[in-house]
Structures are given as structure tokens and as C-alpha cells.
Structure 1
């Protein structure tokens, strides 16, 4: 019965995605928005044709893992390390500013102090999946703009992990005391060192010996990506960070671009599930109550984040055009914000309405930011042929 349900769900998702993608292309709209809209339409709060959004959400998480793995394959370790050092203070300061603005807007909209604080924290981060999806893999990843975007996203991910650890401890899941906080600090450098050593002395030797077997390269790549994702979670980090480290550790190898090319279809399969699950998890009955604060927060993020990033990046001696572009590419709320909302609601720090404010803000900011980027900067899904870059 379960198998039939999953097959039926996949039929509705991917057949529906094919239809809405066709309509989106004909009307020159971004397909990301179409997938989210399909999720809302087929989800429990509308037609209720998909009644397992949690299962879809868990499966779609694999798409984010593959996305970060492929991103890592395009990043040279020396360039990345240099960028992380330069951008750390920008990430910290910008996150504090966005949290303060989110808190102020939420409090003025009538939410409690603790709810306003959680909403403010959710506003700190930009979406890794949207930003990377809109980065041309053959252009910006090898240029300064791409390195800036990725460096800031990774630093935000570290801050988000710290926030999630605090929430986990408040939920009573912290049985290890202080070790729960020390584990990721110890685990991160160990994971990085272990990954580079394993790649150098074992993985590359295996790939070199059996590189004529394409199926083997495909299998080893997926196994390496998911193994690092699981190890990262065990070390108290995120699975996405583990997958990114797995990619970076292979980036200096000539095989990296071959792997990147052959894993893209698999990545896109799961990313469709990711955007669908965002729409399917939203409760339309609360739309009237949350639309105003969510709209203010989403529009505020789109307008204020580019200004803040532009000002801070100018302090790093970045030119004005690059600073503006980075700011607009980071002008949305993160998928980490959705996880923060989920955990805070389970603990009792957020009411259902406040939790849906964060969800609605994320969906609106994904849509608004996508439109701004595809209309003004090079992306793989640009409406204009002039701006379309793969």
C-alpha cells in the first residue's frame, strides 16, 4: 500500500511539474515558483491529493545535499579559505542587523517578544538552495562573485547550526551537556582533515584505477557524498556541510567536472521535490492572518539585504557592482529558517500563526528574490537569452 501511495504521489508531482513548467516557460516565469505553487495546489490545505508532505520533504533534503556536493566540486580550497577569512565579519554583522530588523517588524505586528525574537533569528540567513540554483556553474563559480556568495552562505550555515543547537538543547534533546556544543567545534576540523586524507590516499587511487567504468564513478561519487553527509550529522554539523566538504576535497582532481556533469540530473530530480514540499507544507487557512507581516518581512529582506551587504562589502574593498549583485543574490530567507520555525513551534516558543509567518516569508522571499535575480543577473534559468548562463 505504501509503495502504491509513493508511486501515485510521484506521478502527481512530476506529471504536474511537467505541466506547470511548460506553462511557466510559455509565460516566461521562473520554474521554481511553479513548483512551489504546485505544492500548494496539491497539498493538504488545497486539493489534498498529496497527503505525505513530510515524506516528500525528507526525500527532497537529498537534493540539497547533492546541490552542495556539486558546488564543492567547483570550489578550489585555497580560494575558498581565503574568502571565508575575509567575509567572516560581514556574515556576523549582517546577521545581527537582519535579526534586529526582523524582531522589530514582528513586535510591531503584535507578536510576543519571544516569537519576535525567533522570527528575527529566522531572518538572519539567506537560502543556500535558491542562491546556488541561480548561480551559473560554468561562470560565477570560478569568479569572485560566486566565491563571495558561497563564502557568506557557508558562514551563515555555521551560525544557523549554532542556533539549532540552542533550540535542540531547549527542547530537552541535549543529553550530552556541554559536549553537544563542543562536538561540532571538534568535529569540523577533524572531518575536513579526514576527508582530504581519504581522497588523496584512497578515493583518487580507486577512481584512477577503475575510471573506465562510468557506472563505478557514478556509484563512488554518490557514496562519498552521502557518507560525508552522515558523518557530518554525527559530528553535530549539517548534512549539507558534510556534502560540501566532500565536494571541495575532490575539487582539485581532474575527475571533479566529470562527476559534476553526471550528477546534475539526479540533483534536479530531488530539488523539484524540495520546492514542491515547501508549498505542500503551507496551511492556506492561516494565509489571511500571516500575509501582511510575511509580505513586510519578505519585501524588507529583498530591499534591505542588498543595501546592507553592499555597504559591508564595500568595507572589504569590493567594487560597487559586485557588492550590489551579491546583495541581491542573498536577498531572501533561508530553508534553515523553516527548520528553526519547526523546532521552535515544537518546543512551544512559537504559536502556529507565528510559525506560518516564517513559512510564508520564506515562500514569498524565494519568489521575489528569484524574479529580481533572473531579470537582472546571469542565471541558468534566466527569462532573457542574454542573461541565461549554465
Structure 2
């Protein structure tokens, strides 16, 4: 194929057809994109400009947005559990992968490369899922992102070792100098992001903000410039784009930039998953099915178990332990790059690449399904996961000691809408109990004198502390159907008499939420439309059209 437009037309057409079928069967779209790539792998797309360039832009946009949404100081406060759990998992997965590869007849070096490749989870799958479910600010979301960053840094070190033939010489003094240079570059890159975000970007963006188009263009330009510098310095697109996003995290224009970038991100991300699927060599995979199934099983079961054990040394509740561990059930896009480099430098064979490609596709398909049904799985797995929760588990932020409450209003979510509701209730001198999964928001509310609990609304143990039976009114500003249904289910089980108001971001879920027990369902776009129509009706006699 010589035409970029023809390639795009074919890829997107196949993705749309399979995507529609997946949607009808309520399957994740990620699965559809991967299968579209597998379907297209029979065609000669190995030299495709589209599949070699555009998917990387999708990775950059995903991490750019994640960086903007994260508070880096909170990630840093979780540094110890993140590093300990990640390194523990990498050791366990590498040993397990090496053992399995050796059992199937691979040599020591090639088996070691296959083993370490198993240890990396998919940054783009996890980041996309967290963003779609609005879980980036949750504790397990922050843990997941922190773990991915550590994994990516380890992957970069492995790639440096392969490209400089350090594997041939062993891991002795030969690797010390490259590691030292790598560390210096990392410090320089982070320092540059910090200094530019503090002294340069505010001035530039204040100038550009007079035009929405220029503001968007400036943000994209900054992302590409800093990511390019990171790549030239020997880092990955993931690290560069993430730091570029972090540099804009405190910008007053953050929300506006995110709203503009997200639609573009979705297009490029679709191409990324098509690319991953297209790397599957059906002939090669057919000959390696047993080991592919073995690697997929290790990714789906052993990796999350390793994280469960690693994180159990710290004071996390079982819900956080489970959700964080379940997120890590894939073979990564980085795994493909690591093995591809090993093939190019003579450390691995084409069959190793076929094994990792097949394992990546299978594990991502199963993983995305598991993540979509995580709460149902958690309900089933709760007794097992409870064994790994320490008795003093408090999820880092200590629980508030709440007095018995009666006639209070429960507000779930302290975001922009929730904050407006909370402030109104305070002025009306109505006692309020707030639940939010953002530790910063909870600390702020407690400092202001509110009763505030930290936790996830989908965690039944957290809901039990909200004193729902004595509440006068329950308001959820969460927006997500999953969270709202968890709250409504808890109210139904406890036979709560209070009126329940929920906000939804999905128009087609209004009736579902009413059927589940909501007295009022607020869909913001419909409220805005109704308000506009009422204003037009009031002012219509005074309007003059000429």
C-alpha cells in the first residue's frame, strides 16, 4: 500500500465494523481495535508509515493528559510502596517468565529477555481505562500510574543494556557508566520540566490564552517539544509526554487544554491498538500457542498476585490492593519494543517476538474485560484479598472519627459541582458528611471543619461509614454510572429512607439509575438546555429579529 489515506481508510473501516459488533455485545472497544489489527496483519503493513508513526502520538497524548491530571507531590508521597511493590513484581515475573521460557527450550539470554518482558504492564491500556473511569485521582489510580512510571524506567534501562550490547559483558562495571549517565540525564530532564513550568510556561500561556486555538496549539507544541527532547536524551515518549503534562498540571488553563486534546487522543489511541494487533504473526503464533497461553496466564494471574503481595506490606485497604493489582494484568507495548531490539541485536529470535506479540494481544483483551468488571470480581474475591490487608490498614490518609449523625446530608464527590453543593449546605447551616477519593480534597474539607471521609464510593466498607440510615438526603455528584449504582445498591440493601439525588454524565443511563432507586437524576446538559429554553420563553416577547 502506497497511499497513507488508503491505509487509514482500510484500518478505520475494519475497526469501525468490529467496534460496532463489540459494542452490541458490550465488549471493550480496546478488544475490537486489537482484533482489527489482527485481521489486518495478513496484509503487508510492516512498512506502514501510519502504523509506525501515528500510534506513538496516541501514547504521547494519553500520558500528556495523565500528567496534567496528577498531583506529583501525592505520587511522591507514595514512592516507597510503589518502588518496593514494582521491583518485587519485576523480580517475581522475570524469574517466572525465565523458567517458563527455559522449559520450552529457549536459551539463557533469550529466556531472560522473555522473562523481563513479561514484567511490564501496558501504560496506555491502564492510563486510558483510568481516564475513562475518572479514577486517575483515586488512590489506586495514583498507585497504578506511579508503578507504570517505575516499570517504564526499568524498561528503558533494559533497552539501553540491549542496544549497547551490555548483556554480552554481564551486569558488572560495563553498565555502571551508562547508568550514571542515564541518572544524570533523568535529573536534568526533571529539573528542566520544573524550571520551565515555573518561569517560562505561565508567561507564554497567559499571552496565548487570548485565543482558544492558540492556547491549544501552544499546549500541543509544548508536548511535542519536550517529548522530542526526552527522546533525544534517551528516554521514552511515555516519560517525556508525562513530564510535559506534569509541567502544565498547575496551569489555570489545564481543563480547557484537556477538553481540546481528548478527542484527538482517542483517534490516535485507536491506531495504537490496531498497530499492536497488526504485529501478530498468525503463522508464528500457531507454532507457539502453548507458551503464549502460558505467558498470558502468568500476566493475568501471577503478576497481580505479585503486586498484591508487594503492596500488602503497606497500610492499604483491600479494595485499593485489589484494584491496583488487577490493573497490572497485561503484557506491555514496551515488552514488544524490548524484544524487537533484542531481535535486531541478535539476542532473541523472531519466535520470541511472536510469543510476546501474541501474549500482549491476548492479555490486553482479557485484561480490559477484567478491568471493566472489576467491582463484580472484587465482590467475589474480597475474602481472599482480605488476607493481605494489614489490621491497621487506613489507605495512607487516617480515617476521621465521626460522631453519630442524624438528619445530615451525604455528599459523594467534592469536585466542582460537589463543592458548590457543600458550600450551599454550609450557608443553610445543614450538617454535611462528604465522601471523596482525592486525599487533597478530603484534607482541605477537614481543615475547613467539615465531616469528610476518604475512600471510593464503590467500596462497601466505606459506604457503611456514611451513616446512610440516619441521613435526610443523599447527593452523588460522581457522574459515573458504576459509582452511582454502587451507592444505590448499598442504599437498597440498608433500606435507606432518605431521598437520593444522583448526577450522571450519560443520558442513556437516566432510566437505569431511576430503576435502581434514585429519586432524582440530574443530567447537566439537559438541565442547561431546559434553563436556556425557559429563558427564551421568558424573553421571547422582547426579542426582535430584523
Q: Same fold (TM over 0.5)?
A: yes
The change in CA–CA distance for 1:85 and 1:205 in structure 2 (over 3 A counts) is farther
TM value normalised by structure 2: 0.66
**Contact persistence 2:56–2:237 (CA under 8 A):** no
Name the residue aligned to 2:254.
Answer: 256
For 2:484 and 2:331, how far apart are their aligned partners in 1?
A: 27
Instruction: Give the Å deviation of 1:85.
Output: 3.7
Matched, 1:133 2:128: yes
Name the residue aligned to 1:181.
Answer: 179
Cα RMSD (Å): 2.6
For 2:481 and 2:296, how far apart are their aligned partners in 1?
A: 22
Structure having the larger proportion of residues in helix: 1
Name the residue aligned to 1:107.
Answer: 102
For 2:10 and 2:154, how far apart are their aligned partners in 1?
A: 37
**Contact persistence 2:84–2:310 (CA under 8 A):** no
Name the residue aligned to 1:202.
Answer: 200
**Contact persistence 2:4–2:50 (CA under 8 A):** no
For 1:386 and 1:271, how far apart are their aligned partners in 2?
A: 29
Name the residue aligned to 2:278.
Answer: 280
Matched, 1:21 2:16: no
Q: For 2:75, which of 66, 76, 80 is the aligned residue? A: 80
**Contact persistence 1:232–1:239 (CA under 8 A):** yes
Post-superposition CA distance 1:336-374 (Å, at most 9, x none): 100011011111211111221111111111111111111
**Contact persistence 2:4–2:49 (CA under 8 A):** no
Matched, 1:212 2:207: no
Tell me the SS of whatever aligns to 2:288.
helix
Tell me the SS of whatever aligns to 1:140.
coil
Post-superposition CA distance 1:199-255 (Å, at most 9, x none): 222211121233130111111111111111111112221121011011111112221
Higher-Rg structure is 2
**Contact persistence 2:34–2:277 (CA under 8 A):** yes
Tell me the SS of whatever aligns to 1:370.
helix
- Number of residue pairs the alignment of both structures matches: 381
Instruction: Give the Å deviation of 1:183.
Output: 3.0
For 1:50 and 1:247, how far apart are their aligned partners in 2?
A: 32
TM value normalised by structure 1: 0.91
**Contact persistence 2:228–2:240 (CA under 8 A):** yes
For 2:72 and 2:340, how far apart are their aligned partners in 1?
A: 34
Deviates more, 1:9-18 or 1:215-224: 9-18
For 1:155 and 1:225, how far apart are their aligned partners in 2?
A: 21
For 1:19 and 1:295, how far apart are their aligned partners in 2?
A: 27
Tell me the SS of whatever aligns to 1:56.
helix
Instruction: Give the Å deviation of 1:384.
Output: 11
Name the residue aligned to 1:123.
Answer: 118
Tell me the SS of whatever aligns to 2:136.
helix
For 1:227 and 1:343, how far apart are their aligned partners in 2?
A: 25
Name the residue aligned to 2:471.
Answer: none
Instruction: Give the Å deviation of 1:78.
Output: 1.0
Matched, 1:332 2:327: no
The change in CA–CA distance for 1:261 and 1:152 in structure 2 (over 3 A counts) is same
Instruction: Give the Å deviation of 1:323.
Output: 0.6
- Higher RCO structure, 1 or 2 (CA under 8 Å, sep 6+): 1
Q: For 1:62, which of 57, 60, 66 is the aligned residue? A: 57
Name the residue aligned to 2:163.
Answer: 168
Name the residue aligned to 1:142.
Answer: 137
Tell me the SS of whatever aligns to 2:222.
helix
For 2:175 and 2:83, how far apart are their aligned partners in 1?
A: 28
Post-superposition CA distance 1:148-201 (Å, at most 9, x none): 0001110111111110000010189xxx99764333211112112212221222
Matched, 1:95 2:90: yes
Name the residue aligned to 1:267.
Answer: 265
The change in CA–CA distance for 1:109 and 1:389 in structure 2 (over 3 A counts) is farther
Tell me the SS of whatever aligns to 2:309.
helix
The change in CA–CA distance for 1:318 and 1:274 in structure 2 (over 3 A counts) is same
Tell me the SS of whatever aligns to 2:321.
helix
For 2:236 and 2:195, how far apart are their aligned partners in 1?
A: 21
Tell me the SS of whatever aligns to 1:141.
coil
**Contact persistence 2:37–2:275 (CA under 8 A):** yes
**Contact persistence 1:309–1:324 (CA under 8 A):** no
For 1:28 and 1:385, how far apart are their aligned partners in 2?
A: 19
Tell me the SS of whatever aligns to 1:111.
coil
Name the residue aligned to 2:416.
Answer: none
Structure having the larger proportion of residues in strand: 2
Deviates more, 1:53-62 or 1:297-306: 53-62
Tell me the SS of whatever aligns to 1:194.
helix
The 5-angstrom pairing of residues 31-70 of structure 1 reads 31-43=29-41, 46=42, 48=43, 50=45, 52-53=47-48, 55-70=50-65
The 5-angstrom pairing of residues 212-361 of structure 1 reads 212-361=210-359
Instruction: Give the Å deviation of 1:376.
Output: 1.9
For 1:340 and 1:381, how far apart are their aligned partners in 2?
A: 37
5+ residue gaps, structure 1: none
